[in-house]
Amino acid sequence: MMASSYNAKEEDGHHSGAVGPGGPGAIKSKKPDNTAFKQQRLPAWQPILTAGTVLPAFFVIGLIFIPIGIGLFVTSNNIKEFEIDYTGVEESSPCHICSQNYAWNNTNPCQCSIPFTLEQPFESNVFMYYGLSNFYQNHRRYVKSRDDSQLNGDKNSLTNPSKECEPYRTNGLPIAPCGAIANSLFNDTLELLYNFPNGTSISIPLSKTGIAWWTDKHVKFRNPGGNNNNLSAAFAGTTKPVNWRKPVYELDPSDPNNNGFINEDFIVWMRTAALPTFRKLYRIIHKNKDMPTLPPGNYTLNITYNYPVLSFDGRKRMILSTISWMGGKNPFLGIAYITVGSVCFFLGVVLLIIHHNYGSRSNNADIPN
Amino acid sequence: MACGVLKRICGFPEDRKENKRRLVCSFPQDEEFAELLRSYKGNKICTSKYTWLSFLPKNLFEQLHRIANVYFLFICVLNFVPIVNAFQPEVAVLPLVIVLSVTAVTNLWEDYRRQRSDRQVNNLLCDVYDRKQHKYVDRRWADVCVGDLVWLCCNEIIPADMVLLHSSDPNGVCFIETANLDGETNLKQRQVVRDLPQQGSEFNPETFSSRLECENPNNNLRRFRGYMEHPNRTRVGLHSDNLLLRSCTVRNTETVVGIVVYAGHETKAMQNNSGPRYKRSKLERQLNVDVLWSVVILLLMCLTTAVGHGLWLNSLKDPIFLIPGDPPPALAGFYMFWTMIIVLQVLIPISLYVSIEIVKLCQIYFIQNDVDLYSERLDTGVQCRALNITEDLGQMQYVFSDKTGTLTENRMLFRRCTIAGTEYPHHENAHSQELYEEQAGGPEGGGVSHTLRSRSSHRSLSCRSLSCNRSSVSLNTLACDDDTQSHEDTHPTQGRGAFSSAMECLVVPDPLLQLKLGGLSAPLAPPLKQDAAELSHILDFFLALAVCNTVVVSSPTQPRHVVQLPVARTPLRSLEDMKLLLQKLSLPRFTLSPTSSTPPGQPGTTPPSLTRRLFTRGRAATYTPNTPPDTGLTPNTPTASTPGSLTPAQTRTPSPCPSPSPSPSCLRSPTTTTLAGACGSTVEPSAENYTSSDNDAVCDAAAGGKDEEDEEEQEEEDEEEEEEEEGTDEGEQLLYEAESPDEAALVQAARAYGFTLLGRSPEQLLVSLPGTGPLQVPLLHVLPFHSARKLMSVLVRHPLTGHVVLYTKGADNVVMDLARSNAAGGDNASHQSPMREQTQRHLDQYAREGLRTLCVAKRVLEEAEYEAWLKKHMLAETSIENREELLLDSAQRIENNLTLLGATGIMDRLQEEVPETIEALQKAGIKVWVLTGDKQETAINIACACRLLRPTDRLLTANCESKEACEALLAELTEEVRGCKDSSGVCEGAGGDSDGGVAWGFTLVIDGRTLDWALQAELEEAFLALTRRCRSVICCRSTPLQKSQVVRLIRDTLGVMTLAIGDGANDVSMIQVADVGIGISGQEGMQAVMSSDFAISRFKHLRKLLLVHGHWCYTRLANMILYFFYKNVMYVNLLFWYQFFCGFSGSVMTNSWVLIFFNLLFTSAPPLLYGILDKDVSSETLLSIPQIYKTGQDSQAYLPSTFWLSILDAFYQSLICFFIPYFAYADTDISVFSFGSPINSAALLIILLHQVIESHTLTLLHGLVLVGSAVFYYAFGLVFSVVCVTCNSPTNPLGIETRFMSEPLYYCVCALTTVLALLPRILVRALCNTIRPSDTVKAALLDRLHPQEYWTRVSRWQDSLHSCKVQTPRPRPPNLSINADPPHPTHCYPQASAVLT
């Protein structure tokens, strides 16, 4: 491919023979330049991996990794996390009945309550997640089934959604938001009650904003027509997704900044999870001034059970968690760091021994076997 | 003529079936020829492949012939099928578009260059006869048609293949230089078609009305068959001597006229243009196997996914995340299979092929720029003609070498001779040659004579001509000023193919022989009778040396212009004396025949010539003995023709003067010619011994008159005066340009004894004998050398006796046989027989001394005999079919009944550093075979001299007469070798076939006849079994065909990598058969170079080419390929593991742009640099420890095991790289593409750092590229994640990178992943290198040492290798002398000082 048939031959074969006897005045010698690059003598670092050369690296890695690991482990252990499965698979579960008779368009929402107890206080902000298991939000066709332009407020896409949304593209009218992801929006409602020992209970304030990424909320997702207060007009000519009970502009009628496409629950759902077992941020419980955000005691989780998961052996969970600089509770990284660090350190010692036994020999005698 | 408008139309009714083409030139009453004319290809050449319109479709079509591109296309098309598509179409098309457009752009650029050069060539102008204007008009090359008459002057380039119709030369010859065609710079003689009536007069195109018929265009440069039919129905045969080839240059002839027979692409030059060769290297073959394995892995992975997807779907009941309307699980699984092929397409390393090409081009760049492989003498480095087998250089196991010109200089020196059974040892000669070598300061320093030559050659080519390529531009220089000369001094160059260095060829006559010859020149004291018989032998011997050749004579000041000296200024007193002597000898065959009673040669003193004034500006001054052309054919006519003196004058007048105002030459020539008379002389003043001072004088004289006409004339007058003063021919300085160096050496030798070849024309030779002036020897026939005959003969009319004499020289065994056949019938059989025995003894002795032997013989023919033979020979010459065979027969008919005259021994010195090179190659585990056409003894001697054969070696000789004997002998020798091996037994383990350091080196010497038997299918195996046990094999007396047979046998049967190296046409077949062919651009033209893959100028360069560049190229490429495989598998597996967590749905966790770019941009440059610049061991160490080369021979860098280990490591790394992030982010709110971010980042780090681990050298460039790649990746990711708001759905990256890269967790994950992934490789590398370091690692460790310690280590290593050698000193064969320099000390390392400083 790089070779021309005619010129290459001329250049390769001929003139060398004929150039010899003289050119007009200036003979250009074809002697190659004696430069470091052309003679392949560039100054270079030549790493040769031997026990002697790599063992410091092993020790250094060990010495760095073990403290990091310990730090991560401790941090992870300081995170408080509480998880409760409310799928209602077991018959004893309060939500068992709800789980049995589900329907997407059920007009009578099924309610159930699950009491639980927190042994320890949750300090600082508490993040409330809902978790789904065995839910393949990362399925190739599911992931594709959305229209980013529509979600970005594009008028054309609103009325003429992308073909990727099929078969949730139109339902008589174009669907807004279209696609399978939006169609399967998680629609359980979770409420948290703190039960005082005296029997009364108080509803814990759950903040539903601030749960989505800033870029998503402010750049990627936009309602059609900009900051139009009349969302229903903006969405005129479209219809709600098949499984939804209300149109998109009624997702949060109380707060215009959390309604329509910029509804944060919706945004969070639209960021498809990477793994089949995932959690998504649902609410944030902001910390109080003087007392723990969630003091130890009895709580009740009130669930409006809408979302069917049993058909695919899914599970639904509610998770309460504090977070640290490294995110949620995850002991794995800490342990892994400590393990790798120790292994490196150990290998360093082994290499030291080997270096002691072989290193000098290989340096001295070059006896080929 | 009678018509108002004369039109000449030529037609080519082609008859492909008959494999002939007819060319009819006639006058235009025939309109059908006008039609035919149009149907032939014009002279326009078009080497470009594309036009603007056709570029896109044609280029695409061509590119899609590559299987890789088809794969790409298939993937793309697949991606457009909605049910299986994995990415957005524009993303999937990208790789294909990038690869195709990169290739297309390079193709386009190349094509543009071709077009430009085509245009340049097509627009050159030449003079074509215009039938309307009745004169020659300028016409573009492109417009020249078949049948056109083209008029060319000296130094013009021939625009198309033409049959020579007219030459300004009175003898109808013209000289061409074929340097543009095959690189040979010696002049080749071409002859006007015989029997053309216009010779000697102005060529009139209007009267030319002959028909031509010739064969169809073919690519055989040396063959042209056809005939010309004159209007009177007589036919004249045409052969290659009549053909002027396109792109050659006319030299030494003022004007020529030819008729175009092949034009444009049908010319032989164009038909020979086959472009660079394409060979597939061993590594590439291995690579293709592994690519197939990747395909298998890919299919397995896709199959896993497909089955997994089906099962997964099967287990689900109505999940809300599934899109309704999906096909049933089985079908979905099937679709998934194709989807996964798209997703995992990168697993097949497509970019690898493009990368390999780039890397090889760069490797070639470095090889060509190696200053160590540059030869000052030829001003050329190594030429890489094959672009894609650089790495094969690192895997050679067998080297097959030619001897002459490859191991030796191929600069022949006449050493000694035997005449009529008496040996003349020429001791002085040997002595003076040694002296010369000392003066010249080593073998490279033949500078003095070369300088002389190259300087003078400037002058000769002082005629500007149109030229299209650099080579000819540089040739045609008007002036060479002092600058150039001084430059020349520092870079002495020598025209290739000319063997005329006077200094080296200088022969000091043997005193005894001179004494005997003295009798000849002093006939007043007639010698004894038996001496007279011997004297006639001696006379004949030297006459044979002088005439039996094809040497072209030129003078140093006008070296390109053939000297002709038809001068016999000396009164023929001594000639008469000599005849008297011959009569006195009363040998019957020396009686003067009445026909030649008129002495040939010019009586009387002719005034010295003014010939060189005739043509100013260096136009051709070609004079040959001015005999009418038919003299040679009619032997009875006396050769001298004084009245003819005016004829050549007219001939020389350039009658068809194209310009309206005649040039000075046109004006001057008539007057001067009449003055000049018949004879020209360019006798030059010069000293007999070319010491440097004399040399300078000559050069000064030469320099003086180079461009100023007046000066030139002045100088010529001076010269004339000097000539008058000298009045003798002794001091002439003549340059002999011969096709083979032997010939030049022999002519020089004859000259030393006064038998000087002064000039040559096709019809006669001008020879001066001792004591006589120049004699004209009518040259009747030349029977050129043929490898089947191994002979070369000339038929001449003896200048003294007038007999027709055949002089033959050739290989000793052939000549001896032919002479033996004479023994019975010869009149002097009794005399011949002992002489033959004597000569044979001497021949054997010469061979033992390593001299090349040639026998000289003659045969006197009766007139009738000759006539009979001539008739048949003419028939053979004119025949179109089987011309070669008929000529061969014809030659064999006359070359018998020879009378042996004597034999010569010619020395050919070894090239410098040949023993060291061979030793290094052998230490590197390469078996070196020498295949030569020389005698067995000569071959053995040379083998000794170049240390192929060591004193400790056992020599096995195989010479058999029959197949059975051969079989028995092979078995016996094998048994002997085995026996010795077993008994010695010390190095049994280390020994064996491959080890160079085995105690008993066996060397097999086999001659051509035995080789024939051994190469037969039944004996092949025995032969191979024997040769495998021998350290080296010497095949002597082998033909070119045998050479290629041997190479093919070894290559195919043993399955080893073979390299053939040679310099001559006889090595071409061997070079082509071998895996790697290397041509030495030496003394024997360019044929070997043209057919080779690499061309070097000295044998010693082979050492660095193989040991350093070969090793580097191989390891670099092998490592790069492995790295590519690793990289792709590693990256693609990340996607594969993800399938287990997305329901095998073909989902990816990476932005599709990043996915595509990852291979194409982010990680493509570092491996390229790695493949180009990586250097595991320094060149010094590689050269001083050749054993390292064995790693390449055993393909250690790229074994199937290393491939699978790489794949395994890739699997491990991808597992780590996937699952560490997986566990770190499990059960969190991480989104699909956020999950990909740390994985990609870690993968990039791992892949780049992996390369750092694998790299042996890291230069600043590496650093830049590695860091650049990483920075590029992150910059791309960040910018993309900020800018891309709605683009690239569904894998919209908005905000992902910015968010993640601000999280510490991201870095924790990346760091842990990278360390853990690379840990095993580092560990294994370190442990291997420490516990069992390979040779390369040890050598690399050596490189780091302090120079002093380094050299002690290196020598210790070398010693340790030889430690197991059993030193059994074997006395050198008693009568084996070595003609080479004393052996060089083995343990002096020339590089040591370089490193120390």
Task: Considering only the beta carbons, identify the residue of A18, A22, A340 that sits closest to B480.
Answer: A22
Shortest distance, CA B757 to any CA of chain A (angstroms):
26
Is B577 part of any known ligand binding site?
Answer: no
pLDDT at B589 over 80: no
pLDDT (0 to 100) of residue B193 = 79
pLDDT: which is higher, B1200 or B199: B1200
Instruction: Specify whether the CB–CB gap between B967 and B957 falls below 8 A.
Output: no
Query: Residue B1308: pLDDT above 70?
Result: yes
Interface test with A, best of B106, B323, B1352 (most A CBs within 10 A): B323
pLDDT band at B733 (very low <50, low <70, confident <90, very high): low
Minimum CA–CA partner of A157 in chain B? B1286
B1247 vs B254, more confident:
B1247
Q: Please tell me the predicted confidence (pLDDT) of residue A2.
A: 37
Q: What's the burial of B421, exposed, middle or buried (CB within 10 Å: 0-12/13-18/19+)?
A: buried
Q: Label residue B1364 by pLDDT band (50, 70, 90).
A: very low
Distance from CA of A319 to the nearest CA of B (A): 11
A5-14, B875-884, B1052-1061: segment of lowest average pLDDT? A5-14
Number of residues in chain B: 1397
Measured distance CA(B413)–CA(B503) in Å, rounded: 10
B220 vs B2, B223, B422, B1079, CA distance in Å? 41, 6, 45, 20
| pLDDT band at residue B6 using 50, 70 and 90 as cut-offs | very low
Residue A274: its pLDDT value, please? 92
B495 in contact with A, Cβ within 8 Å: yes
Per-residue pLDDT for B828 more than 90?
no
* Phi, psi dihedral angles at B1155 (to 5 degrees): -60, -45
Rounded percentage of chain B residues whose pLDDT exceeds 70:
70
- Transcribe B949-961 into DSSP letters: S-TTPEEEEE--S
Q: Do A16 and B1329 touch (CB under 8 A)?
A: no
A341-345, B589-593, B1183-1187 — which is least confidently predicted?
B589-593
Give the tens place of pLDDT for each residue, B265-282. 888 777 766 555 567 788
Distance CA B998, CA B981 (A): 9
Q: Which of A5, A14, A35, A283 to mutate to test the interface with B (most CBs of B within 10 A)?
A: A14
Mean pLDDT score across all residues of chain B: 72
Residues 6+ apart with CB under 8 A from A369: none
**Average of per-residue pLDDT across B404-418:** 80
- pLDDT the model gives residue A270: 92
**B1352 interface with A at CB cutoff 8 Å:** no
Cross-chain Cβ contact B1295/A219 below 8 Å = yes
Q: Using CB atoms, which residue from B457, B474, B1329 is nearest to A49?
A: B1329
**A96: closest CA of chain B, how far (Å):** 19
Please classify residue A205 by burial: count the beta carbons closer than 10 Å to its beta carbon, then call 0-12 exposed, 13-18 middle and 19+ buried.
exposed
Q: What is the distance in angstroms between the Cα of A175 and the nearest Cα belonging to chain B?
A: 16
Mean pLDDT of B1003-1022: 86
- Is the separation of the CB atoms in B497 and B1063 below 8 Å? no
Does B403 carry a binding-site annotation? Answer: yes
- List, as one string, the DSSP characters of A216-251: IIIII---TTSS-S-HHHHTTT-B--TT-SS-GGGS
Cis peptide before A177 (omega within 30 of 0): yes
Any idea which of B375-389, B616-630, B911-925, B939-953 has the lowest mean pLDDT?
Answer: B616-630
Any idea which of B509-523, B642-656, B822-836 has the lowest mean pLDDT? Answer: B642-656
Q: Which is the catalytic residue, given B402, B742, B908, B995?
A: B402
CB contact under 8 A, B1304 and A308: no
The whole-angstrom distance between B1312's CA and the closest CA on chain A is 7
The pLDDT of residue A83 = 92
d(CA B1397, CA B1381): 29
Cα–Cα distance, B1313 to B1296 (Å, whole number)? 20
Q: Which of A11, A28, A31 to mutate to test the interface with B (most CBs of B within 10 A)?
A: A31
Contact B501, B449 (CB under 8 A): yes
The answer to whether A18 contacts B1257, with C-beta atoms less than 8 Å apart, is no
Q: Write out chain A residues lying below 8 Å of B1341, CB-based.
A: 48, 50, 362-363
In whole angstroms, what is the distance from residue B890 CA to residue B882 CA? 12
What's the pLDDT score for residue B1271?
94
Ranges A10-14, A303-307, B1184-1188, B1312-1316: which has the least confidence? A10-14
- Identify the top-confidence range among A325-329, B86-90, B94-98, B556-560: A325-329
CA distance B1150 to chain A (A): 11
Q: Exposure string (b/e) for B689-704, b if CB count within 10 Å is 16 or more?
A: ebeeeebeebbebbbe
Checking if the pLDDT of B1039 tops 60, the result is yes
B729 is in an annotated binding site: no
Of A20, A141, A277, which has the smallest distance from its Cβ to B1227's Cβ? A277
User: Which residue in this structure is represented by tokens 């048609």?
Assistant: B145
The answer on pLDDT for B685 being more than 70 is no
pLDDT of residue B974: 84
Cross-chain Cβ contact B1259/A20 below 8 Å: no
B853 has binding-site annotation: no
Predicted ipTM of the assembly:
0.91
Residues of chain A found within 8 Å of residue B1086, distances taken between Cβ atoms? 13, 17
- Write the DSSP symbol of residue A273: B
Q: In this complex, do A23 and B473 lie within 8 Å of one another by their Cβ atoms?
A: yes
- Asked which of B471-480, B580-589, B829-838 is least confident by mean pLDDT, the reply is B471-480
* Residue B743 assigned ligand-binding role: yes
The C-alpha atoms of residue B484 and residue B1158 are separated, in whole angstroms, by 55
Has residue B9 got a pLDDT over 60? no
Provide, as residue numbers in chain A, all residues whose Cβ is less than 8 Å from the Cβ of B478. 24
Question: B1340 and A48: CB-CB below 8 Å?
Answer: yes
Which residue's structure tokens are 């190469």?
A: B1015
Quickly state the pLDDT bin for B32 (edges 50, 70, 90). Answer: low
The closest CB to that of B324, out of A49, A167, A308, belongs to A167
Report the sign of the C-alpha dihedral through residues B573, B577, B578, B583, in that order: positive
Q: Is B474 on the interface with A (CB under 8 A)?
A: yes
More confident residue, B461 or A298: A298
Give the span between the Cα atoms of A261 and A253, in whole angstroms: 12
B402 is in an annotated binding site: yes
CA-based nearest residue in chain B for residue A217: B1295
CB contacts, 8 Å: A20 with chain B: 185, 378-379, 454, 493-496
Least confident of B197-206, B307-316, B842-851, B1352-1361: B197-206
CB-CB contact of A98 with A275 (8 Å): no
Minimal-distance CA residue of chain A relative to B469: A15
Q: Looking at residues B1370-1381, what average pLDDT do you find?
A: 37
pLDDT confidence of B1237, banded at 50, 70, 90? very high
Residue B377 contacts residue B494 (beta carbons within 8 Å):
yes
Chain A CA closest to residue B1333: A362
Least confident of B340-349, B577-586, B804-813: B577-586
Query: Is position B1052 annotated in a ligand binding site?
Result: no
If you count residue pairs, one on A and one on B, with CB atoms under 8 Å apart, how many are there? 423
Looking at the partner chain, which of B1143, B1224, B1315 has a beta carbon nearest the beta carbon of A340? B1315
B1331: nearest CB among A30, A276, A354: A354
Mutation target among B1249, B1330, B1345, B1365 for the A interface, most CBs of A within 10 A: B1330
Across the 369 residues of chain A, what is the mean pLDDT of every consecutive 10-residue run?
Answer: 35 36 49 85 85 90 94 92 89 84 70 90 90 91 89 87 87 89 90 90 90 90 78 86 88 87 92 92 87 88 88 89 86 94 94 82 45
Residues in chain A: 369
List, as ranges, residues 346-405 from B with C-beta within 8 Å of A: 357, 361, 366, 368-371, 374, 376, 378-381, 383-385, 387
Asked if B1231 is an interface residue toward chain A (Cβ–Cβ < 8 A), one would say yes
B320 touches chain A (CB under 8 A): yes
Q: Which of B320, B338, B1089, B1185 to mutate: most A Cβ within 10 Å?
A: B320
Q: Which of B464-478, B545-559, B595-609 has the highest mean pLDDT?
A: B545-559
Distant-in-sequence contacts of B1158-1162, Cβ < 8 A, 24+ apart: B1158/B346, B1158/B1131, B1158/B1240, B1158/B1243, B1158/B1244, B1159/B346, B1159/B351, B1159/B1127, B1159/B1128, B1159/B1131, B1160/B94, B1160/B95, B1160/B98, B1160/B351, B1161/B1272, B1161/B1276, B1162/B1244, B1162/B1269, B1162/B1272, B1162/B1273, B1162/B1276
Backbone angles phi, psi at B476, to 5 degrees: -95, 85
pLDDT band, very low/low/confident/very high, at B31 (cuts 50, 70, 90): low
Q: In this predicted structure, what is the pLDDT of residue B1013? A: 85
DSSP state, A189?
E
The C-alpha of A234 sits at a distance from chain B's nearest C-alpha, in angstroms, of: 20
Per the annotation, the verdict on B402 as an active-site residue is yes
Q: What confidence score (pLDDT) does residue B473 get? A: 31
